[in-house]
Structure 1
């Protein structure tokens, strides 16, 4: 029997600034492919054709335990890759004690800053939705997935899935 690796500690960095003790929750991006049904003549059923990444997959949501001037100053950024966020997580198996580091780096801009409810004496929480154009997932220092939407880069386990496509269109 083996036990799963569970998140034990985490932190978020915004342009290198640590939110240790302030970040309460992170909703990590759901990676998804856009797949469309195709059934051509002579086929006895349909297959799903890969049409690239889903339109709504590039979101990272996170919550802070209160007011943060840095995030507010970043709102309304012009460039699609204006700010860098880094999620750092430490996962551990309780049967072996083995730990793994998980790092997700994104570059993007904030689409939404929800200031939440304001009531004196109650805990406050601000929710931020960051839309990314660049994503990189590394586990134990090894790059697992890299997606750079404007530059048409999509790597999985070191394999560049779009290298030939870029070559075919002269990039």
Structure 2
């Protein structure tokens, strides 16, 4: 039994540039399987068949406008912007610290300038359509998803390797 890991600090990076002090919140991509109900002859009930992944997205809010982000608007490639979240999670019962990094590549689907009020911190937010995802826990890659190259590695096992090989993709 133990206490949960609590985010004690974080940083957010865009193409390697740190947004320390600027990034307020980061909503990491939700990993969602696309499942379809199927019931064939001789089955006592339906099962959910795995049809791959749903699209991923990341969002973040900042304390005010970020020029670097604005200059990346409309990038021409699906994986044209590189973002990285680094979080320091600590358990208060053991004081153990885990570093969790999420690395994504994609392009912005939305940039919102938010309400601007004199004397108040602004709110600037982004939403990114994610084309590549990697989660690293204490230096070990736990999940890597690259839909364009049909790669899905979980816990060190490439779950798509056999499918790629069967259609001549190596």
TM beyond 0.5: yes
The structural deviation recorded for 1:120 is: 1.3
SS class of match (1:145): strand
Give, in whole Å, the separation in 2 of the partners of 1:19 and 1:32: 28
Give, in whole Å, the separation in 2 of the partners of 1:80 and 1:90: 29
Tell me the residue number matched to 2:116. Answer: 118
The structural deviation recorded for 1:153 is: 0.4
Tell me the residue number matched to 1:24. Answer: 24
Alignment of 1:1-171 (within 5 A): 1-55=1-55, 58-171=56-169
How many residue pairs were aligned?
Answer: 169
Give, in whole Å, the separation in 2 of the partners of 1:136 and 1:81: 13
SS class of match (1:144): strand
Give, in whole Å, the separation in 2 of the partners of 1:32 and 1:132: 13
Give, in whole Å, the separation in 1 of the partners of 2:87 and 2:150: 27
What TM-score do you get using the length of structure 2 for normalisation?
0.97
Structure 1 residue ranges (4+ consecutive) displaced by more than 2 angstroms after TM superposition: none
Give, in whole Å, the separation in 2 of the partners of 1:119 and 1:93: 38
Q: Deviations over 1:23-53 (max 9, x none)?
A: 0000011101000111110100111100000
Q: Deviations over 1:58-110 (max 9, x none)?
A: 10000111111100000000001101000000000000100000000001111
The structural deviation recorded for 1:156 is: 0.3
Gaps of 5+ in 2: none
Gaps of 5+ in 1: none
SS class of match (2:34): strand
Give, in whole Å, the separation in 1 of the partners of 2:121 and 2:89: 28
Give, in whole Å, the separation in 1 of the partners of 2:67 and 2:2: 44
SS class of match (1:26): strand
